[in-house]
Amino acid sequence: MAPGRVFLVVLLALAVSFNVSLAKTKICDKGWECKGVYCCNQTISQIFTVDNFEELFSKRNSPVAHAVGFWDYYSFINAAAQFEGIGFGTTGGQLMQQKELAAFFGHVAAETSCGYSVAVGGPYAWGLCYKEEMSPDQLYCDQNYLFPCSPGASYHGRGALPLYWNYNYGQIGEALKLDLLNYPDLLSNNATIGFQTAIWRWMNPIKPKQPSAHDVLVGNWKPTKNDTASFRFPGFGMTINVLNGGLECGQGDIEAMSNRVSHYLHFLDLMGVGRELAGDHLDCGEQVALNPVSNSATSR
């Protein structure tokens, strides 16, 4: 055999063995995806189990809670499945995945808690105590909008990140292909839908050109000069700003804001990550709010 041919054979052999080893290690170049039984990065249920869920929301079925038997792990997993492919809880490897879930659930717990400082199990064990606002004092109906109210319907706070106002029910219903405008009760009758609307809110900005809470938490968002001048930096505090900045940011160390931070830190501990990895800029006490109160999706 001529030396040239030997070289070619060796090259071919190398190429074949390289391909084989590629196939064995299953390197991913397209981000999160599942092919058959194999997923490039871990799914949520691989890093967040039913036991984790029970620990985070340990008091939700206690007799004094207001949504006993409603919220469960499987509704969350069903709801999340729709968003895993676009990065919810599947971005950036296990640590970031856990941090995103701790942050998401920190907001959920803070908004649905009936805990207080001397409550049994501590103040952060009472998330998912509610599935809807109790005795609302209005219908949250803004008649002059794109999404007209269904006669007599009430658009009070419902869901895992409570949704308020007809236009928010309309917008998210349209995105999820659910008629939430005419059937707002779907959110408080079906826990999967109660979680789907919350995850949708987490994954989407309130206004175009703003980041979503997800983008902020996983590091997809880079502050502009305006943001920096407004003290808005990447971190958990900016997720508060995205979700409810008009009510809770730029007012120093107020209770509603620090309650979210405390839930996040507590959940990081419970999930075995540890609060020392929570990151910088945990609160938004000094940040200028992204949106004034009346434009906030969760404004009351």
Ligand X SMILES: *[C@@H]1O[C@H](CO)[C@@H](O)[C@H](O)[C@H]1NC(C)=O
CB closer to ligand X out of 77 and 193: 193
Tokens of 211: 């980041």
Shortest reach from residue 226's CB to ligand X, in Å: 4
CA angle 120, 164, 266 (to 5 degrees): 30
**Who's near 222: CB < 8 A, 6+ residues apart?**
234
Cα gap 72→81, rounded to integer Å: 15
- State how far the alpha carbon of 131 is from the alpha carbons of 69, 72, 114, 237, in Å: 11, 12, 11, 25
Residue 294, classed as helix, strand or coil, is helix
How many helices (H) and strands (E) the chain has is answered by 12, 2
CB closer to ligand X out of 268 and 289: 289
CB closer to ligand X out of 138 and 224: 224
Binding site for ligand X (CB under 6 A): 31-32, 41, 91-93, 190, 192-193, 226
Annotation marks residue 111 as catalytic: yes
Shortest reach from residue 149's CB to ligand X, in Å: 22
Cα gap 122→270, rounded to integer Å: 13
- State how far the alpha carbon of 182 is from the alpha carbons of 63, 73, 85, 156, 211, in Å: 32, 27, 29, 13, 29
Closest residue to ligand X in the complex (CB): 93
CB closer to ligand X out of 87 and 235: 87
Shortest reach from residue 193's CB to ligand X, in Å: 5
Cα gap 244→268, rounded to integer Å: 21
Which among 100, 111, 132, 248 is annotated as catalytic? Answer: 111
Shortest reach from residue 64's CB to ligand X, in Å: 26
Shortest reach from residue 91's CB to ligand X, in Å: 4
CB closer to ligand X out of 186 and 261: 186
Catalytic positions are: 111
